[in-house]
Amino acid sequence: MNRKIASHYALIDSHLERNIVIEVDSQRRIVAIDRVANIDTCAGVEFYSGILLAGMVNAHCHLELSYLRGAIAEHTGFAGFAREIGRVRNNFSDEERIAAATAADAQMWQEGVEAVADIANDELIMPIKERSNIRYHTLFELFGLNNTSLDAHVKMASSPSTSITPHSTYSVQDAPFREIAERGTAPLSLHFLESDAEAALYCHRGSLYEWYERMGWSCDFLKYGMPAERIVESIPAERRTLLVHNCAATPIDVMTIETHLRNVSWVLCPESNRYISDVCPPAAMLSSMGVNIALGSDSLASARTLSMVDNMRLLSDIPLVELLLWATKGGARAMGWDDELGDLRVGTSPGIVLLEGADLQQLRLTPTSLTRRII
């Protein structure tokens, strides 16, 4: 039987609309959206107090790291975090990893996440994602300066909902980076300028450079001079690309990349940046440049929760409607899912989520704001 979901506010086609009734069939498909004069007198509707929005798209997650919740201290800094994760990641059993990922997947669904761009290093939790109500695209990341063969990744990334990506512009040598960039058409997702140590590496200085020196690791890609230039010279213009974090990105980095890549999105994970380095990504700068922005949770190794609202709350200088668009449409567009997801549209099944506890006069999140799934 069809359900009629009603609210005083709904985010539709990038606008906050008033007095909306959304009719949904038993397959979760939206069959009608009606604007009514007085919603309080409508009969046969389920009324919700708050803002209705499409199911959210988490544009950057590592579900497989859910078992590391609380295992790494906050504010270790960027290089410290990379060292710590290497130290603790082998201290847990497969059962513990699977249980943690199962719980995190269930919670994301309940909170209204419809689809996830998920980074992975192995296949342990693939069955969880295959069974999940959430739509996952898994990007197996090539990581490590000594890791130059794609053979294992090619084997893992054999289904249409999987692909291969380089981890970042500082952790993968030149040949495998270019090989991945030129292979296939699935999105790439790179950790990008999470810290100023990445750009400093290309100038032979900074904490990352010093760490690599101590370990005796060499990089054959510093010839590009800067991370943005490496992207421009290595990734084909038409390849869909998600750049994640961007904390140390300058307007010149953004312009350089936007001029070259036709389909690039800027993914922000503010809770992870706060957790690791107590910094905030340049959300206002990116917004003013008119680029496509999406939100991600990163992993429970570097976030207290995977909540999209917790991430939005950290970007309090951005208007609420814009944040909600980043969490829905922005993520869907980043992954090429915007025909089906990210907006409340007749004929599609994007899921319906309620944001409650927001200040609807000021249009701001409050400490008690949360999202929950309605459809």
Nearer to Zn ion, 302 or 369 (CB): 302
One character per residue 295-324, x = contact with Zn ion (rule: CB under 5 A): ---x--------------------------
In the window 60-119, what residues touch Zn ion (CB under 5 A)? none
Give whichever of 311 and 349 is closer to Zn ion, judged by the CB atom. 311
User: Roughly what angle, to the nearest 10 degrees, separates helices 78-88 and 270-277?
Assistant: 90
CB of 71 to Zn ion, least distance (A): 16
CB of 180 to Zn ion, least distance (A): 17
Range in contact with Zn ion (rule: CB under 5 A) among 6-14, 132-140, 156-164, 292-300: 292-300
Q: How far apart are CA 250 and CA 196, in angstroms?
A: 10
Which residues are bridge partners to 23 per DSSP?
4, 32
Which segment (122-130, 233-241, 290-298, 367-375) binds Zn ion by CB under 5 A? 290-298
Span near Zn ion by CB under 5 A; candidates 15-23, 84-92, 294-302, 348-356: 294-302
Work out how close the CB of 61 gets to Zn ion at its nearest, in angstroms, rounded to a whole number: 8
Reference 141, options 174, 180, 102, 108; nearest CA is: 180
| Identity of the residue, 268 or 358, whose beta carbon is nearer to Zn ion in the bound complex | 268
Choices 157-165, 166-174, 291-299, 337-345 (CB under 5 A): range interacting with Zn ion:
291-299
Residue 100's Cα: distance from chain center in Å?
Answer: 19
Query: Backbone dihedral region of 90: left (phi > 0), alpha (psi from -120 to 50 degrees) or beta?
Result: alpha
- When the beta carbons of 20 and 242 are compared against Zn ion, the nearer one is 242
- For residues 77 and 357, which CB has a smaller minimum distance to Zn ion in the complex? 77
The vertex-239 CA angle with 234 and 241, nearest 5°, equals: 85
CB of 121 to Zn ion, least distance (A): 11
Query: Would you say the C-alpha torsion 69, 195, 180, 189 has a positive or negative sign?
Result: positive
Write the interaction track for Zn ion spanning residues 240-279; mark x where CB under 5 A is met and - where it is not. Answer: ----------------------------------------
Residue nearest to Zn ion (CB): 298
Which range of residues in 7-15, 152-160, 293-301, 362-370 is near Zn ion by CB under 5 A? Answer: 293-301
Q: For residues 340-369, which are near Zn ion according to CB under 5 A?
A: none
Give the nearest distance from C-beta 147 to Zn ion in angstroms: 17
Rank residues 105 and 298 by Cβ distance to Zn ion and give the closer one.
298
Closest separation between CB of residue 118 and Zn ion, Å? 10
Size of the site for Zn ion (CB under 5 A): 1
Subset of residues 122 to 161 that bind Zn ion, contact rule: CB under 5 A: none
User: In whole angstroms, how close is the CB of 82 to Zn ion at the nearest point?
Assistant: 11
In the complex, the smallest distance separating the C-beta of residue 280 from Zn ion, rounded to whole angstroms, is 17
256 CB contacts (<8 Å, ≥6 apart)? 228, 229, 232
Start-to-end Cα distance in the chain: 13
- Cβ nearer to Zn ion, comparing 298 with 343: 298
Shortest distance (Å) from residue 119 CB to Zn ion? 6
H or E element at residue 113: strand 113-120
Q: Which of 133, 57, 60, 119 shows the shortest CA–CA distance to 340?
A: 57
Distance of CA 265 to the CA centre of its chain: 10
Task: Give the span between the Cα atoms of 333 and 342, in whole angstroms.
Answer: 8
What is the side-by-side strand order in the sheet with 292-295? 188-192, 241-245, 264-268, 292-295
Supply the minimum distance, in Å, between the C-beta of residue 194 and Zn ion: 8
Distance of alpha carbon 21 from alpha carbon 24, whole angstroms: 10
Closer to Zn ion by Cβ: residue 298 or 338 = 298
* Cβ-contact 354, 7 below 8 angstroms: yes
CB 302 within 8 A of CB 106: no
Distances (CA, A) of 224 to 20, 86, 177: 52, 28, 13
Give residues in contact with Zn ion (CB under 5 A): 298
